[in-house]
Amino acid sequence: MAKKKRKATLATKNAIAGYLFILPFIIGLLVFMIVPLFQSLRMSFSEVTVNPAAGGITMEFAGIKKFNDAINVDPEFKIKLIENIQRMLLDLPSTLIFSFFVALLLNQTFKGRGFVRAIFFMPVILSSGVIVGLEYNNELLASMKDVIADSSNASSITSVLQDMLVTEGSETEQFFGYVFDMIDHVYDIAIQSGIQIIIFLSGLQTISTSMFEAAKIEGCTAWECFWKITLPMVSSLILVNIIYTIIDFFCRSDNEVMDYISGLMINEMNYDLSSAMAWIYFVCCLVIIGIISLIISKRVYYYE
């Protein structure tokens, strides 16, 4: 008697479906990304000379010289890298808080909820490379901004409030400075929060309403439900959004470090030094993600 074939479990079917969905990405990665990746790594350890007669470029092994040049010799790269990392560490909490707060609002029941959700997804479209390029490279918009700045002597609302609330040299000066800086950059934060809002919203919708009903029967307030049910249930998505936000910040089209590396490679044809800078930038991104993930993952609550 022939043995009956074992039926695939639901987990196996889901895994196969998942691999089929990401198969185009895997094929694209292997075909278009792996070879250039190793080519740039080889360039970073080499002295690259542009030589059309020899087929384009010639590479001679130079060890870690280009990495040393990028960190200790180049006058701008290290400064831009440090400033970029500091800006990311400041933007990360504000982006997560804003996106989580908006997701909580959009999860409520009200008229026109679908339309409002579509509006909050607009930052994903507006943050595309074309729109950002139009915004940052449009000479008309830039000149209008300069004219407004030159013709106006009035202080911003946040600067006035900061002068009223903050005493110079006090312990709260740094905290209020961060809060007011976040308010001044609320437009940038909203632009960067589209995907995070969708991720948080999808997590909030998976929480069973029976858990909140049982908590209310036991006498829990809305504040207690938030800290005891909502936040633990979406803690895994907080980690996902942290990783996404870091990667998104490092890969933005208006990123000064990426612009500097691209200009060095395209305009000056300095392939070896630009490759070394790119790998330093990549390693910094991985280290930051690893450290933050290690810290946050210990407080993540997973549930079946």
User: How would you label 43-60 residue by residue, b for 16+ Cβ within 10 Å and e otherwise?
Assistant: bbbbebeeeeeeeebeee
Same domain, yes or no: 295 and 159: no
Same domain, yes or no: 238 and 95: yes
Residue 271 within a domain: yes
Same domain, yes or no: 73 and 142: no
Residue 205 within a domain: yes
The CATH number of the domain where 278 resides is what? 1.10.3720.10
Q: Which one is predicted more confidently, 253 or 23?
A: 23
Same domain, yes or no: 123 and 68: yes
Average pLDDT over residues 268-294: 88
57 backbone dihedrals φ, ψ, rounded to 5°:
-140, 155
Residue 79 within a domain: yes
Distance CA 137, CA 146 (A): 14
Between 13-22, 94-103, 165-174, 263-272, the lowest mean confidence (pLDDT) is in 165-174
Q: Kindly tell me if the per-residue pLDDT of 83 is higher than 60.
A: yes
SS3 300: coil
Same domain, yes or no: 295 and 213: yes
Q: Kindly tell me if the per-residue pLDDT of 255 is higher than 50.
A: yes
pLDDT of residue 150: 52
Q: Kindly tell me if the per-residue pLDDT of 169 is higher than 80.
A: no
pLDDT of residue 143: 55
Strand partners for 136: none
Between 7-21, 144-158, 182-196, the lowest mean confidence (pLDDT) is in 144-158
219 backbone dihedrals φ, ψ, rounded to 5°:
100, 15
Q: Kindly tell me if the per-residue pLDDT of 27 is higher than 80.
A: yes
Same domain, yes or no: 227 and 290: yes
Domain total of the chain: 2
Residue 49 within a domain: no
Residue 37 within a domain: no
Q: Kindly tell me if the per-residue pLDDT of 132 is higher than 70.
A: no
At which of 185, 219, 251 does a domain end?
Answer: 185
Same domain, yes or no: 172 and 136: yes
Same domain, yes or no: 111 and 71: yes
pLDDT of residue 155: 47
Distance CA 56, CA 227 (A): 60
In terms of residues, how long is the chain?
A: 304
- Quick one: what percent of the chain has pLDDT higher than 90? 4
Is the whole-model pTM more than 0.85?
Answer: no
CB 88: neighbour CB atoms within 10 A? 19
pLDDT of residue 153: 45
Distance CA 58, CA 65 (A): 17
Same domain, yes or no: 123 and 262: yes
Average pLDDT over residues 98-123: 77
Residue 51 within a domain: no
Residue 40 within a domain: no
Query: What is the band of 287 on the pLDDT scale with cuts at 50, 70, 90?
Result: very high
State both tokens at 97.
């808080």
Q: Which one is predicted more confidently, 225 or 178?
A: 225
176 backbone dihedrals φ, ψ, rounded to 5°:
-65, -35
Q: What is the mean pLDDT of the chain?
A: 77
Q: Which residue has the tokens 């990360």?
A: 92
Query: What is the band of 131 on the pLDDT scale with cuts at 50, 70, 90?
Result: low
Between 15-19, 86-90, 135-139, the lowest mean confidence (pLDDT) is in 135-139
Domain boundaries, position 177: 130-185
Same domain, yes or no: 88 and 103: yes
Q: Checking DSSP bridges between strand 56-61 and strand 46-51, what pairing results, if any? A: antiparallel
Residue 16 within a domain: no
Query: What is the band of 13 on the pLDDT scale with cuts at 50, 70, 90?
Result: confident
Same domain, yes or no: 134 and 123: no
The answer for residues whose C-beta is within 8 angstroms of residue 286's C-beta and 6 or more apart is none
Q: What is the pLDDT of residues 173-184, one digit of tens each?
A: 566 666 666 666
Q: Which one is predicted more confidently, 286 or 136?
A: 286
Same domain, yes or no: 114 and 69: yes
Q: In 13-91, at which residue ranges do the beta strands (DSSP E only) sit? A: 46-51, 56-61
